Structure 1
Amino acid sequence: MTPLMKQYNEIKKKFPNSIVLFKVGDFYEIFGKDAIKCSKVLNIVLTKRHKNSSIELAGFPHHSINNYLPKLIKAGFKIAICDELEKKENKVILKRGVTEIITPGVVTNSEVLDAKKNNFLGAIYYKKNSQIIGISFLDISTGEFLVGEGCQNYINQIINKLLPKEIIYPKKKKKYIKYILNNKIQLQSLEDCFFSFNSSYKNLIQHFKTNSLKGFNIQKLFLGITSAGAILDYVCNICNYKIPHINSIKRIDLEKYLNIENFSFENLEILTSKNEDAVTLLKILDFTYTPMGSRLINKWLRFPLKNIKQIKSRQKILSEFLKNNKIVKQIRKKLKTISDLERLTSKIVNLKATPYDLLILKNTLKNIIDIKGILLDSNSKSLKKLGNKIIKCNKIYRVLEKVLFADAPKNRNKGNVIKPGISKELDKLRNVVTNSENTILKICERERKDTGIKNIKINYNNIFGYYIEIKKTIKRKRKIPKKWKRKQILANVERYITEELKNYELKINLAKENIRKIENNILENITKLLLENLYNNQHNSKLIAKIDVILSLVRCAQKYNYICPKLNKSFNIYIKGGRHPVIDFKINSNSNELTYVSNDIFLKREKKQIFIITGPNMAGKSAILRQTAIIILMAQLGSYIPAKYAEIGIIEQIFIRVGASDNISIGESTFMREMNETASILNNISERSLILLDEIGRGTSTYDGISIAWAIIEFLHNHPKKPFLLFATHYHELNNMRNYYKRIRNLSISFQKIKNTLIYTRKLLPYGCQNSYGINVAKLAGIPNIIIKRANKIFLFFEKLKTFETRKIYINYKIIKKFFCKLKLNKLTLDSSITILKKIKLFFKTQ
């Protein structure tokens, strides 16, 4: 066991669950089992520490860390970077220590991060025998810090909306945490001492430099505060990150937003789809140019608004941009070259910003200044108001413009970052380097003359420094001066050094080292200035993101012919000429002559609360359900919508149950999952709920299914909160419900049947349909004709049988009714009663 390996093992003991990247000279080395894992992930050579060693070794050059680190993080590893903390200076073993810990939830490397998504680290905490759970989220790359607490359903909803890459939790609560999360998010346990309310509260007020947390409206979230303090402790003290850019913490209040349960969100295919090639609503709406804009539109879709004032504010800005197409074009041009200002700020804070990053920042600030000017020059009060909100960043821009070269390198140690005229000392040293290099050329010319060797070259490498190189020939060897000292013999050339070259090399290297120091000092002063303006950059990045998203919605409105919906507090939903945005997009994208058949939906709480929708298979019943939900979501997003006209009373909840799928991993059948999701809907209704149910009850026997569907519709009709319901079904018996319940209406999807072929015209009609025409659809799908013919015969048989059974029951009912109506109960004796019962028994036996 060498001193080096002893040192490694001591550090590995402190970080047992991390891959330790151990700096040895110019390499990061990995040992043992970690080396085996990393060699596979990184596709690098696996070797041994020594020939006779049993310790596996893998490694890569330290300057390549940004190439290899993303692969390790994406593979789910936790990385501990162990650097040399002192210079060599003839020491046998250098002092080393972990300078940074990188995990999937704590990372600022742009190669790892998805520019279009947040990268949240979560923390969760609960107390025994309490139904309330505290949770917090921190994205150190953007500075967003969120906290909340609630029941298990609340926690699952938030986790599914924010999708953290990693969640930390108290070690002793492992079983319960895994139970309540029930998903594949990476978990990281911490000692229970991290989760202390008192220390968490203290951490937070010290970080935000406040006397209390009242200003953030979170002072009563005891469990949430505990989890938030644990996150700060973990990021700062364990992972060694600086976080002054995190200057606020927000409460996650789901009551402010339109609630869409997780399964409903999945069913609507808003952000993702189970089908690989499916087009989601996000793909339709996202025309953003900046990474901040991409993340914000994602967030808006997850959290649609309920506040009419906020929605109308977004609509107002959108409409003003629509009126000023010239301004829109000018701003879009500027947005195209704006970089990720939020994540650049995080790099600056952690001193990881390169000169190239600062150059990008300079260009970004210039574009923000231009956008502010464009908005202020407009004739619109709303756009001028938006322009006034952008904080002036001219000072920082002028400093960066004055100091930085236009082609600043990505690595500050390469030099040539700072323009001439900024530092007199820097300019002198650069002249020394330039003149010294010229002197080297003069030395080369002189040696050629003195020795008579015409093709002498003077080159440079990191091993010898400056050296003279000549071709290996006998004649030339005789002319070599004694002052030349041979350093290396190669196949065709020989290399020599001289005292004169060594002196010039020292002079040049000293000048270059001093140049790097001066440039680094100037860059540090710039960084200090940027740190003083952190809030301004963060504020501007949020406004630019908002402008980017609204311009994206402007483009959608123009491209897809969307209109501005009217939102109010009524209990009515009127959508005229509504279209499903995704299907509409697909039809318009294809070169065929198909057009989307738009439809009207008019829901009125006191008159038309429930619609039962019937029609053939593939007619578009499910599309009508999804279309209604998506249009309402878009309206409450602040977007224009695919319709001719719309008046929408604010909706608080959207529930949609469509499709059939098993969840075998937890033993759920299709029907069981359907019932679980339906139960979740029925138990969480509010007076502003929109419920969309597609073929509920189809997973069991026909009469069971009809009974369940009937009972659900009846329950919702009689519910005191009177939620809106669209119910698509193939149970045609449910059409009869209109005769018994005053707020139920029937709808069906139009079609034409020509010679046993269905032609879908897809218009909603104000009456029910009595046949699903499943056999016709089977024929369209290519089912063999012999099966289709046989199916038609069987269908006719069952139709006759059904008619016969119905008639038989009706006749029996009439006979029994007539019999009992004639019966005189007051004249019955025991004997006559027994005789009558025998007759009834005999009657039913013969049926």
Structure 2
Amino acid sequence: MAGNTPMMRQYLEIKSRYPDAILFFRLGDFYEMFMDDAVVASRVLGLTLTSRNKNAEDEVPLCGIPYHSSQGYVARLIENGYKVAICEQVEDPREVKGLVKREVVRVVTPGLVLDGFNLQPKENNFLLALHKGDDQMGISCVDITTGEFRVLQCRDMDQARSELLSFDPREVLLDDGDRGEQVLSDLAPVLDGRLVNRLPEWIFEEDRARRLLQDFFSVSNLSGFGCDHLDTGICAAGAVLHYLQQTQLGDIGHLRALTPHSSNQYLVLDAATRRNLELTSTLQDGRKKGSLLGVMDRTVTAMGGRKLRHWISYPLTDCAAIWARLEAVDEARLRSDERERLRMALDGIYDLERLSAKVAMGSAGAKDLVALRTSLERLPQINDIVQGFEAPVLKEVAGDLDVLEDVAELIGRAIVDDPPFVLREGGLIRDGFDADLDELRVISREGKGWIARMEQQERERTGIGSLKVRFNKVFGYYIEVTKSHLSRVPEEYQRKQTLVNAERFITPELKEYENKVLGAEERIVSIEYDLFQEVRQQVALQGARLQNTAEALARLDVILALADLAHEADYVRPVVDDGTAIEIEDGRHPVVERVSPGERFVPNDVRLDTEDDQLLIITGPNMAGKSTFMRQVALITLMAHVGSFVPARSARIGRVDRIFTRVGASDNLASGQSTFMVEMTETANILNNATPRSLIILDEIGRGTSTFDGVSIAWAVAEFLHDNKRVAARTLFATHYHELAELAVTRERVKNYNVAVREWNDEVIFLRKIVKGSAGHSYGIQVARLAGIPAAVVERAKEILRNLESGEFSDEGQPRLARERKRSRPQASSPQLSLFSSGDQELRRRLEEVDVTVLTPLEALNILDDLKKML
């Protein structure tokens, strides 16, 4: 450092405190980056890389960006996984002799973006901390753009994985010890693509975390927040707060409470279920469009969009609370005129949650305050309409609405309608708001008139008709006279500048006026900035009122959106009760029917309970609609628990505590799990955690292994779900193993259903209707042909199928998979084909004794198992 300039020494000292961030170092109207930061930033941002001390041994790479357009550059760096430390000049350069003091005012990371291109309006931007305790997993997350600060505890890693997917954080904090390493390993697939920061273990210590949280909220304990008992969760919350205090060096007082998040209040959805049901994003491309949220989201505000996402991710389980939401949706649906007026009024409201957060943190500009004012001006109209509703939830919204007329009036009196983006150039404050400012503006405005009068006066006095009084930033005010009239210049004129064809002069009177006017303009800018900060601080003091009103508007927006959807899509109000029956008449898949408008959707009925119709075995060919049917039952059940109307003619939903799904096949190569291992792991989770209150969707169990193994596993799983009283969950079980239909004979609560099809000239026609009974065929070959499998392969498959269906062995003991052609008989010594050797008399005797016409599938499998053992 010794050989550097004072400014570079200042830069290096500040940079040493933020080694893992790109430092935006404020120099006048630019943010400059030096050395390695400059090299990285120039590459990522496409900036021209230049240098200080060119052609010297100590050449320093540098690049820069205009400070007033920094948001886009910061966003691109964040998107590429970098942190950015914003270093500002904290002194006015005009008032300081020597080096201006600079400090980092904020560190921007993916989880701590306040505004700009990295924020999605209808999605939270969470920073989340995970801490593994002895027998619990603590989680805490914060969204500094809205002020939400939550804490919870999970019983195991599976629940933590589910919560992580639900919160979908941009940034995750872990300790740098062994426990953090285990979390990182166990959750590797869901942490992929997120910025993970490892913090020292001491930051997660419980005693330290409690003291930090209590000091921040100015409380003696955390009981008032209802989370004092969440020891492991508090460790995570303490880490979150520590990280905020280290990176957000301004005020974070808009975090007003630590809210406990209890899974007992909500219908539990594990990670596989959230993924398989495509609740908020699709499996194919991860986008909102095509998901349940994509269909249901008719909210008109960003706050409402985030609230709806939360409701879908965390459906209720309390019947009274569900009923209250349904009652509000129903009233809003019936009162269409008021609903439309409210939606139109809400449509002009900006994101009050994020605006109030920016105000509280001192990052709001004048345009943000104007957006806040225009939003608040709509509240009286909204309040007048909402006061007329009767549903308890809407009455609660009306009670929580604060129209904030005083805040709107303050901003309206102080800030002009169209202020500039830059705060230190004036033009922010209205006339009439401050007397001193008005007086200075009069002086400044009269300057033009005074100049014009002086110019006319001097022309008359000197007789120089071309004399001009002008101003520029370099020389200030001056009198300009062409050289042809220099002989007429009065003695009191003082020469200031010589030009080719003219001379410029100054007079004592003009100099005095210059000092007065220029001083006024500088003071105007300074006073305006000070007044703006005062107004912003007064608005910040009303942060709690703003947050409460924003929360009420978000709830109102969601209720109106659900009512609009119910009206337009012909949804019905479900009955959600404490019974165990799920009875849906003419149910429809909420997404499929919307994304395929050209094809008439075929509705279906279903009845599930824990007494007579507990486990439905559903058979039928691929593409016939088994998966669509099962998913629509799960989605209708979930929508009812959200408090939404549902796509059906009628629906009675017995309360559900969890929805499980086992659908499809996928590898988890990152953790060394094959397709079949993933399938078995998900199945094990269901069998170990389901209750009679659960709803289970099983789509093909046992398909990732051999046929005999697969049938055996599927059969045993179905028996367990029926026979085990601890589980005995309402279950839809789709399978291509037709043998499972036999369960309905031996198990009283098992029922067979299939997807109806019709055959016509070797073609299969899917009727999409679920009917009683089991399917006779899988029609896999017909589906293969529809998929474009070559005709030769299709015909050969038919031949093999006929041989298999007529008997596995020929009279000579050869497999009937072979074509009808001469081929040498396998030798008895061949271990692979010894099953078909005609010399094996014991096997032949056993096979001849079997009467295949009376065998059940299970008995056939048992015989084959015995034969395997003999081999």
- Look up the match of 1:782: 788
Query: Which residue does 2:672 correspond to in 1?
Result: 667
How far apart are the structure 2 equivalents of 1:726 and 1:341?
44
The counterpart of 1:36, out of the listed 23, 39, 49, is 39
Judging changes above 3 Å, is the alpha-carbon distance between structure 1 residues 681 and 808 closer, same or farther for their aligned structure 2 residues? Answer: farther
Q: Counterpart of 2:335? A: 324
For 1:626-637, list aligned pairs within 5 A: 626-637=631-642
2:761 is the alignment partner of 1:755: yes
Tell me if 1:486 matches 2:497. yes
State yes or no: 1:695 paired with 2:704. no
Cα distance in 2 for partners of 1:476, 1:729 equals: 105
Tell me if 1:2 matches 2:4: yes
Q: How far apart, in 1, do the equivalents of 2:541 and 2:698 lie?
A: 54
**Per-residue CA distance 1:677-710 (angstroms, 9 max, x = gap):** 1122222112211111111111222112111111
Q: Offset at 1:369?
A: 2.1
* Partner Cα separation in structure 2 for residue 310 and residue 614 of structure 1: 37
**Which residue number in structure 2 is paired with residue 523 of structure 1?**
532
State the Cα distance separating 1:261 from its structure 2 match.
0.9
Check whether the contact 1:195–1:230 (CA below 8 A) recurs between aligned residues: yes
The CA deviation at 1:483 is 4.4
Distance 1:201 1:362 in 2: 38
- In structure 2, the partner of 1:566 is 575
Sequence identity percentage: 35
> After superposition, where does 1:611-626 map in structure 2 within 5 Å?
611-626=616-631
Q: Give the stretch that moved more between structures: 447-456 or 272-281.
A: 447-456
Question: Is structure 2 residue 579 aligned with structure 1 residue 579?
Answer: no
> Are 2:109 and 1:103 equivalent residues in the alignment?
yes
1:568, CA displacement in angstroms? 0.6
1:143 counterpart letter in structure 2: G
Q: Is the CA contact (8 Å cut-off) linking 2:755 and 2:769 kept in structure 1?
A: yes
Matching residue's letter, 1:712: V
AA paired with 1:135?
I
Question: Does residue 545 in structure 1 map to residue 554 in structure 2?
Answer: yes
CA distance in 1, matches of 2:96, 2:218: 46
Deviations 1:271-301 (A, max 9, x none): 1113237611111011111111111111111
Cα deviations by residue, 1:496-528 (Å, 9 ceiling, x for unpaired): 674666654432332223323433444344334
Q: What residue is the counterpart of 1:21 in the other structure?
A: 24
Letter in 2 for 1:640: F
Shift of 1:586: 1.9
Give 3-state SS (helix, strand or coil) of 1:511's partner: helix
CA distance in 2, matches of 1:124, 1:303: 20
Against the structure 1 CA distance between its residues 666 and 198, is the aligned structure 2 distance closer, same or farther, given a 3 Å change threshold?
closer
In structure 2, the partner of 1:418 is 429
Q: Distance in 2 between the 1:9 and 1:575 partners? A: 68
User: What stretches of structure 1 of length at least 5 have no aligned partner?
Assistant: 818-842
Does the CA contact (< 8 Å) of 2:483 and 2:502 recur in 1? no
The aligned counterpart of 1:829 is none
| C-alpha distance in structure 2 between counterparts of 1:494 and 1:74, whole Å | 57
Query: Any unmatched runs of 5+ in structure 2?
Result: 817-843, 855-866
Contact preservation (8 Å) 1:451, 1:480: no
Question: Does the CA contact (< 8 Å) of 1:444 and 1:458 recur in 2?
Answer: no
| 2:212 counterpart residue number | 203
Q: Note if contact 2:469-2:477 (Cα within 8 Å) is conserved in structure 1.
A: no
Contact 1:603 1:609 in 2 (8 A): yes
Contact 2:150 2:261 in 1 (8 A): yes
Name the stretch that deviates more: 225-234 or 476-485: 476-485
| Whole-angstrom distance in 2 between the partners of 1:552 and 1:677 | 35
The two structures have a TM-score, normalised by structure 2, of 0.87
Output the aligned Cα RMSD: 3.1
Task: Report if the CA contact (8 A) 1:320-1:383 is conserved.
Answer: no
Shift of 1:11: 1.9
The one-letter amino acid of 2:747's match is: Y
Distance 1:447 1:587, change over 3 A: farther
TM-score (norm 1): 0.89
2:850 is paired with a residue whose SS is helix
Which amino acid letter does the alignment assign opposite residue 645 of structure 1? S
User: Contact 1:136 / 1:227 at 8 angstroms: preserved in 2?
Assistant: yes
Query: Are the counterparts in 1 of residues 327 and 391 from structure 2 also a CA contact under 8 Å?
Result: no
Equivalent pairs, count = 807
Paired residue for 1:147? 151
Q: Which moved more, 1:338-347 or 1:75-84?
A: 75-84
Aligned-partner Cα distance in 2 for 1:576–1:704: 37
Question: 2:736 matched to 1:730?
Answer: yes
Corresponding position of 1:813: 850
The answer to whether the 8 Å contact 2:700/2:734 transfers is yes
Residues 376 and 403 in structure 2, CA contact (< 8 A), matched pair in contact too:
no
Q: Tell me how far 1:178 sits from its aligned partner.
A: 1.8
Deviations 1:49-78 (A, max 9, x none): 221243211112223323322222222211
Whole-angstrom CA distance in 1 between matches of 2:352 and 2:96: 44
Would the aligned equivalents of 1:320 and 1:382 in 2 still touch at CA under 8 Å? no
Shift of 1:255: 1.8
Measured against aligned partners, the alpha-carbon deviations of 1:78-102 in whole angstroms (never above 9, x if no partner) come to: 1222223434467454333322222
SS at match of 2:754: strand
CA deviations 1:582-625 (Å, max 9, x no partner) are 1110233x3xxx31100001012111111111112210011011
1:469 CA displacement? 8.8
Q: 2:804 aligns with which of 783, 798, 805?
A: 798
Which range is displaced more, 204-213 or 734-743?
204-213
CA 1:136–1:480: 2 relative to 1, 3 Å: farther
C-alpha spacing 1:497/1:600, structure 2 compared with 1 (3 Å): farther
Q: Secondary structure at the match of 1:765?
A: strand
2:559 aligned partner, one-letter code: I
Residue of 650, 660, 669 corresponding to 2:655: 650
Partner Cα distance (1:599, 1:645) in 2: 11
Which of residues 238, 247, 265 is equivalent to 2:256? 247
Shift of the 421–614 alpha-carbon distance from structure 1 to 2, 3 Å rule, reads: same
**1:223-276, CA deviations, whole angstroms, 9 ceiling, x for partnerless residues?**
222222232232124431312111111112112111111011111111111323
Moved more, 508-517 or 567-576: 508-517
**Does structure 1 conserve the Cα–Cα contact (< 8 Å) formed by 2:88 and 2:103?**
yes
Distance 1:675 1:706 in 2: 14
- Describe the superposition over 1:784-819 as per-residue Cα deviations: whole angstroms up to 9, x where unpaired: 33332332222212211259899997751369x9xx
Structure 1, 440-449 or 345-354: larger mean CA deviation: 440-449
- 1:224-373 correspondence runs (5 A): 224-276=233-285, 279-373=290-384
Tell me, in whole angstroms, the C-alpha distance in 1 between the residues paired with 2:453 and 2:164.
69
Tell me which residue corresponds to 2:840: none
- Structure 1 pair 814–228 and aligned structure 2 pair: CA distance change class (3 A): closer
| Alignment partner, residue 94 of structure 1 | 100
Question: Aligned pair 1:607/2:602, yes or no?
Answer: no
Partner of 1:70: 75
SS in 2 for 1:722: coil
Distance 1:502 1:191 in 2: 63
**AA partner of residue 283 (structure 1):** G
Q: Name the aligned partner's letter for residue 229 of structure 1.
A: G
Q: CA deviation at 1:104?
A: 1.5
Deviations 1:386-435 (A, max 9, x none): 32331241222222233333223333333333333322222211111110
Distance in 2 separating the partners of 1:313 and 1:494: 84
Secondary structure class of the residue paired with 2:596? helix
Q: Contact (CA 8 Å) 1:459, 1:469: kept in 2 or not?
A: no
Q: Distance in 2 between matches of 1:216 and 1:506?
A: 59
Quote how far apart the aligned CAs of 1:320 are. Answer: 0.8
- 1:131 matched residue in structure 2: 135
| 8 A contact 1:338–1:363 mirrored in 2 | yes
Q: Say if 1:453 and 1:476, in contact at 8 Å, map to a contact too.
A: no
Which stretch has the larger CA shift, 309-318 or 196-205? 196-205
Aligned partners of 2:793 and 2:478: how far apart in 1?
89
SS at match of 2:661: strand
